[in-house]
Amino acid sequence: MELTVDELAARAGVTVRTVRFYAGRGLLPPPRLRGRTGLYGEDHLARLELVRELQSLGLTLAAIEKHLKKIPADAPAEDLALQRALLSPWAPERPELLDRHELDRRAGRHLEDDALERLEALGVVELLSDGTVRVISPALLGVSAELAELPIPLDTLAAAHAAVDRHTSALAVELQDVFQQTIVRPYREGGRSPDERARLTELAGKLKPLLIQSLVTSFQHAVDEAIRRSVPD
């Protein structure tokens, strides 16, 4: 693969200015030169896609630079693709900015101001001063809108959201650490064989949906058990 800077930007879905900016910050290695023309390869494209994945996690450029310094400058595209695959299962949803009309359409109902206040307490939306709404979790909008309409005190909703957020965040950190220590670390220490890299890339893509399904099922059992324990003998 030999791409000009314009072709590289088009393949990565960014502007040429962004590519040059990243290169200036050292996030991309220099291109190979053919005369006065810089040519970029698969490794440049893979590294650029990795930078965008790290940005989707909310990392600053300084943090991204620190992370990329751990990756050899001559790392092949396959290793960079594996890095991205290991990050993707844990990447959060990207927030969306919506006007009230589009918000109602997405939620499947008209949302009054008090409903929006309750959704904000649940951490699903953020009300902006210009009248638009920042939807922090688009996937949760529909079910959260139904939850917000239930006759439950706002304080109760806020406390419930805080409890769920606190425990799920801790669980995500622990699961990520287990995955890194028991799967990723042995791969790195074992010489990074191509066969093992392909297996690990496939595993990373399947991991998130299976963990989520397992988490939902386990939480249902835990709720049932908590209810049973609360009922007097």
Say what the pLDDT of residue 92 is.
Answer: 63
Judgement on whether residues 101 and 81 belong to the same structural domain of the protein = no
Is 56 part of a structural domain of the chain?
yes
Is 160 part of a structural domain of the chain?
yes
Judgement on whether residues 74 and 56 belong to the same structural domain of the protein = yes
Residue that terminates a domain, selected from 38, 59, 85: 85
Collapsing DSSP to helix, strand or coil, 189 comes out as helix
Judgement on whether residues 123 and 142 belong to the same structural domain of the protein = yes
**Neighbouring-strand partners of residue 134:** 97, 126
Judgement on whether residues 121 and 185 belong to the same structural domain of the protein = no
Residue that terminates a domain, selected from 33, 61, 85: 85
State the distance between the two ends of the chain, measured CA to CA, in whole angstroms.
Answer: 71
* Phi (first) and psi of residue 97, to 5 degrees: -100, 120
Say what the pLDDT of residue 83 is.
Answer: 79
Count of structural domains, the chain: 3
Say what the pLDDT of residue 39 is.
Answer: 93
Say what the pLDDT of residue 3 is.
Answer: 92
How wide is the angle at C-alpha 23 spanned by C-alphas 19 and 29, nearest 5°?
A: 115
Is 102 part of a structural domain of the chain?
yes
Is 66 part of a structural domain of the chain?
yes
Please answer whether residues 55 and 64 qualify as being in contact, where contact means their C-beta atoms are separated by less than 8 angstroms: yes
Judgement on whether residues 191 and 174 belong to the same structural domain of the protein = yes
Q: 3 CB contacts (<8 Å, ≥6 apart)?
A: 11, 39, 40, 41, 44, 45
Judgement on whether residues 61 and 131 belong to the same structural domain of the protein = no
Where residue 27 sits, what CATH number does that domain have?
1.10.1660.10
**Per-residue exposure over 19-35, b if at least 16 CB sit within 10 Å of its own CB, e if not:** beebbeeebbeebeeee
Please answer whether residues 132 and 125 qualify as being in contact, where contact means their C-beta atoms are separated by less than 8 angstroms: no
Residue that terminates a domain, selected from 129, 151, 173: 151
Query: Exposed, middle or buried, 133 (CB in 10 Å: 0-12/13-18/19+)?
Result: buried
Is 226 part of a structural domain of the chain?
yes
Is 27 part of a structural domain of the chain?
yes
Give 10-residue mean pLDDT values along the chain (233 residues): 90 90 89 90 90 81 86 82 74 81 89 89 89 87 86 86 86 84 83 80 76 83 86 71
**Per-residue exposure over 179-188, b if at least 16 CB sit within 10 Å of its own CB, e if not:** beeeebeebe
Locate 110 and state its tokens: 């008209």
Helices (H), 57-153: 61-68, 77-87, 100-107, 113-121, 141-148
Say what the pLDDT of residue 91 is.
Answer: 63
Alpha-carbon distance of 77 to 97, in angstroms, equals 34
Domain of residue 116: give its range. 96-151
Judgement on whether residues 75 and 9 belong to the same structural domain of the protein = yes
**Which pTM was predicted?**
0.55
Alpha-carbon distance of 184 to 83, in angstroms, equals 10
Judgement on whether residues 147 and 213 belong to the same structural domain of the protein = no
**Neighbouring-strand partners of residue 39:** 32
Is 90 part of a structural domain of the chain?
no
Is 33 part of a structural domain of the chain?
yes
